């Protein structure tokens, strides 16, 4: 088993909360991590029909089986248990009793917040991070390889080609889970929709244009995007509000949580297909954004990340809020940098003045160094920037 950076965070949470809820996409390693932490406690998967039926029909008897706590997997399949868990942990008084896992934020997060307010901590677990792969010598040496493979654990601990795994993953989880929630009847339309989304990763999300291209309504696109967000397939990066007397764009940018899934949806089947692909830069940006998210989320934090773009096209790929300061991060997929590579950062820093701090450029090369006041980081170091 590959040790997860989030394990230390969860142990700290268990010392102060009776319950820890691990959320994240399907197959990101939530169950494996929970069982590794609670090796001495029982495990119950609410995906199993008989266990789910027992928990729904007689929740008190079901929880009586676990007097000292347990791992309750895929809790979204039986949200009725949450109220009974509340009274159970209140009466018990001990910390670190239960770990819950959940693969969908849609609708359940509000139920957990209502039923278990103050009783559970939350951790969002994404697929492997660069530091995790690096520690176990599984990190590919070429960036195009990881843009093709992505970071889902089964691709690294099973002998299976990424294209075969992503095909099964899309059919088994994305199409099943999302279609069930949305009650989508036309599979072909939904398949076209998620592929069109992959073609827009790293770009401004124009809902009307996407609706027109897909042949569905604006409100349908909005609904489908929301559920894909809740299922940890995509996320939206919002524009930062600091205008510096400039007119700013208001549309968010769309990204996939896993670059390998986006690559597969684009029809990329080998690392060589990445090299000259017209969306290579967008895929690299998607990959780096995901790594920046993981470095915060593995600590139990939700990062304050944005992008900045004015109406004249001046842009900084990522703005991180840091205690009243703004850290600009520029992302370049090439292995070679020029004077122009840092021009966007320098222009933004002049506008931001004292608000700007720690400017950083992440690129597709291997070396990391300081260039004036700008930190240059090779792609392999991107997962370490927030640690």
CATH number at residue 63: 3.40.50.300
Q: What is the pLDDT of residue 2?
A: 84
- Segment 56-87, tens digit of pLDDT: 999 999 999 999 999 999 998 898 899 999 99
Is 302 a residue whose pLDDT tops 90? no
CB distance 236 to 254 below 8 Å: yes
pLDDT confidence bin for 110, thresholds 50/70/90: low
Residue 54 has pLDDT above 90, yes or no: yes
120 and 157 share a domain? no
205 plus 219 within the same structural domain:
yes
Provide the domain limits for residue 354: 130-384
The DSSP bridge partners found for residue 46 are none
Kindly tell me the sign of the dihedral angle through the C-alpha atoms of 290, 294, 296, 302.
positive
Same domain, 184 and 45: no
Indicate whether 323 belongs to any domain.
yes
- Do 154 and 36 fall within a single domain? no
Please tell me whether residues 170 and 310 are part of one structural domain. yes
Q: Indicate whether 28 and 176 sit together in one domain.
A: no
166 domain-assigned: yes
User: How many domains in the chain?
Assistant: 2
| Res 221 pLDDT > 90 | yes
Domain limit, last residue, from 124, 152, 171: 124
Last residue of a domain, one of 76, 104, 124: 124
pLDDT band at residue 186 under the 50/70/90 scheme:
confident
Domain finish residue from 104, 124, 144: 124
Residue 268: the pLDDT is 97
Same structural domain, 96 and 184: no
Shared domain for 175 and 264, answered yes or no, is: yes
292 lies in a domain? yes
Q: Is 1 within a domain? A: no
Query: Per-residue pLDDT for 94 more than 90?
Result: yes
Q: Are residues 109 and 148 in the same domain?
A: no
Q: Is residue 290 part of a domain?
A: yes
Residues 168 and 90 in one domain: no
Could you tell me if residue 313 is inside a domain? yes
* 244 within domain boundaries: yes
The answer on 147 and 114 residing in a single domain is: no
Pick from 179, 150, 177: which is nearest to 165 by CA?
150
Q: Is residue 282 part of a domain?
A: yes
Mean pLDDT along residues 90-95: 96
Same domain, 166 and 228: yes
Q: What is the pLDDT of residue 357?
A: 93
Higher pLDDT pick, 312 / 14: 14
What residues are paired with 331 via a beta bridge?
A: 362
């Amino acid at each position: 088993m590959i040790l997860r950076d989030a394990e230390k965070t969860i142990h700290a949470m268990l010392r102060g909360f009776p319950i820890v809820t691990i959320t994240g996409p399907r197959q990101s390693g939530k169950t494996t991590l929970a069982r590794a932490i609670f090796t001495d406690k029982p495990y119950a998967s609410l995906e199993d029909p008989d266990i789910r039926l027992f928990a729904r029909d007689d929740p008190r008897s079901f929880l009586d089986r676990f007097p000292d706590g347990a791992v309750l997997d895929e809790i979204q399949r039986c949200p009725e248990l949450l109220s009974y868990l509340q009274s159970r942990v209140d009466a018990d008084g001990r910390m670190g009793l239960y770990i819950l896992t959940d693969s969908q934020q849609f609708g359940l997060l509000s139920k957990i917040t209502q039923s278990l307010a103050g009783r559970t901590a939350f951790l969002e677990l994404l697929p492997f991070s660069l530091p995790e792969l690096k520690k176990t010598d599984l990190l590919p040496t070429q960036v195009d390889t990881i843009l093709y493979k992505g970071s889902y654990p089964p691709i690294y601990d099973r002998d299976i080609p990424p294209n075969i795994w992503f095909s099964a993953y899309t059919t088994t989880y994305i199409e099943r889970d999302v279609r069930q929630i949305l009650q989508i009847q036309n599979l072909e339309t939904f398949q076209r929709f998620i592929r069109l989304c992959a073609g827009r990763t790293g770009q401004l999300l124009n809902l009307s244009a996407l609706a027109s291209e897909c042949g569905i309504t604006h409100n349908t696109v909005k609904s489908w995007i929301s559920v894909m967000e809740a299922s940890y397939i995509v996320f939206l990066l919002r524009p930062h509000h600091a205008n510096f007397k400039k007119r700013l764009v208001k549309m968010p940018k769309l990204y996939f949580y896993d670059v390998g899934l986006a690559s597969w949806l684009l029809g990329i089947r080998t690392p060589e297909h990445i090299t000259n692909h017209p969306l290579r830069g967008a895929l690299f940006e998607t990959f780096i954004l995901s790594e920046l998210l993981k470095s915060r989320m593995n600590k139990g934090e939700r990062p304050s990340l944005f992008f900045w773009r004015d109406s004249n096209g001046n842009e900084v790929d990522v703005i991180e809020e840091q205690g009243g300061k703004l850290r600009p991060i520029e992302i370049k997929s090439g292995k070679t940098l020029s004077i122009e590579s840092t021009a966007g950062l320098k222009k933004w820093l002049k506008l931001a003045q004292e608000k700007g701090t720690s400017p950083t450029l992440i690129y597709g090369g291997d070396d990391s160094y300081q260039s004036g006041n700008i930190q240059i980081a090779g792609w392999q170091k991107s997962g370490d920037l927030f640690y």
